[in-house]
Chains A and B, each alone.
Chain A
Amino acid sequence: MIDDRELLWLFGGVAVTLVLATAAGQALRLSVAGAGARDTIANVNARIGAWWLMSAAFVLASLTGGIGSVVLFALVSVLALREFVTLSPTSRADHRALAWAFFIVIPVQYVLVGVEWYGLFSIMIPVYAFLLLATRMVLAGETERFLERAATAQWGLMACVYCVSYAPALLLLDIDGYDASSGKLLLFLVIVVQASDVLQFVWGKLLGRRRIAPTISPNKTWEGFAGGIASATLLGTGLWWATPFNPWQAAAMSLLIGLAGFAGGLVMSAIKRDRGVKDYGGLLPGHGGVLDRIDSLLFAAPIFFHVTRFFF
């Protein structure tokens, strides 16, 4: 089904990494003592389990070609926007506008990716949805906190739909001497951005001392930030053969992806911190939502897309 050798190598690499991570997680579970450490390990093992599932979904999507990736990320957008809206202070009057966001804006955006209409795909939400949703909201006649409600809805669309849709849009890039439609560039982005998250977590646990953003994410440290982004950049550099980049370019791109991803994680954390405490903070005890998983991808995907489009 896949005749692209490089894509197979990428999938193989992900599979080997997951097998090693699973083995290491189980070994740690059996060897560690102390309640605090055990909780950390249980959490890590739960995350590894989730990684298996997510990777399987991703491979499945790749096997069906471009359309599979478009459908997968459309579903991710629905789930992410659903979490975002839950945490937002919406009013009863916003119901129709929000229903439009889910059942009109999301399908249209992903159909535009699917039919490779770059010109409209890249402005549909910032221009048309921006104006349409505000208009729909004002027609409901409720003026209380109007700007806040309209701005929140637009922000949700930008983050959960517009930014996410740049990930499958990588398949429609037109690069000389490189077949972007194979999904390798998308896989490169996802591997680097998620590896950067995981490696920041690992470096932070191992060496973390000085907090980098104590009011937003108490667990993020300078050591985790530097170690994680540096090692993810090394990893991305090592994957240059699957991309249209040479090793130096792959390094620069990976660094950019890591930095953008870090910014995304911080911004999405700040929103949760603001909302979470008051309203539905304990909504998913023990679980992270889809939005927690993709916060760094939100910022990395559009930047990676446009920088690649500009230079290659």
Chain B
Amino acid sequence: MIGRLVAGLARLIAGGYVHWREPPSGNRPRVYFANHTSHLDFVLLWSYLPPDLRRRTRPVAARDYWERGPLRRYLSTHTFRALLIDRSGPDARAAVDRMAGGIAAGDSLILFPEGTRGSGDGIAPFKAGLYHLCAAQPGLELVPVSMENLNRVLPKGEFVPVPMVSRVIFGETLTLRDGEPKEEFLARAREAVEALREEQS
């Protein structure tokens, strides 16, 4: 109920054109990964998932942000069922373990491999977590997602959004190839998002 309300609100404020290159499928857990410019990114991405997939999809989010204040804590635990990870700690291994645990439990994840929000001008290099997650869960399907204009709706450092029309494109599924080196894989995943962006403009 609150989930539907939040999804509707997100689309009223930031919704617009959305396109799936492959029809959404919920047969097995997947990782949706996207470029990151705004706190609204995952809410909008999440709101575009069909409701039955949405219930089984957990955004991976920073604990320090989402545990601040009762509203955020309520939304992140009850509405989004966010998988909260520590950004500050040196313990990257633990974060990957938590994500792998989510996948093993049958849930899909929403992940922003840049690690932090950018200005919207370009996509930063991906952090290694995506690679380690795929190595821990062989055959895991990844869906690249390109999100455009969200940096104008709610840029870094702002609290009130300016409603605007956005563009979100879900690309074709990719997986970690056998023996693919870490750098090569991370660059390939990043280019998959970049390619969706370039086609748009």
A contacts, CB < 8 Å to B:
78, 81-83, 85-86, 90, 92, 95-96, 98-99, 102-103, 280, 282-285, 287, 289
Contacts and interface: CB of A to CB of B under 8 A. Distances in A.
B149 A86 contact: yes
Contacts of A99: 158, 160-162
Contact of A83 (B165, B167, B200): B165
6 contacts: A78-B163, A82-B163, A102-B162, A103-B160, A284-B17, A287-B17
B138 to A, nearest CB: 38
A85 B200 contact: no
B155 to A, nearest CB: 6
A284 B17 CA distance: 6
Contacts of A85: 162-164
Interface residues of B, number: 16
A82 B165 contact: yes
A58 to B, nearest CB: 19
B165 A284 contact: yes
Contacts of B163: 78, 81-82, 85, 102
B16 interface: yes
Contact of A284 (B12, B16, B158): B16
Contacts of B161: 99
Contact of B165 (A78, A103, A280, A285): A280
Given A96-B158, A102-B162, 18 more contacts: A81-B163, A82-B13, A82-B164, A85-B163, A86-B16, A95-B155, A95-B158, A99-B158, A99-B160, A99-B161, A102-B163, A280-B149, A280-B165, A280-B167, A283-B16, A284-B17, A284-B165, A289-B165
A2 B114 CA distance: 57
A95 B16 contact: no
B24 to A, nearest CB: 19
Max chain A CB contacts within 10 Å: which of B13, B17, B155, B200?
Answer: B17
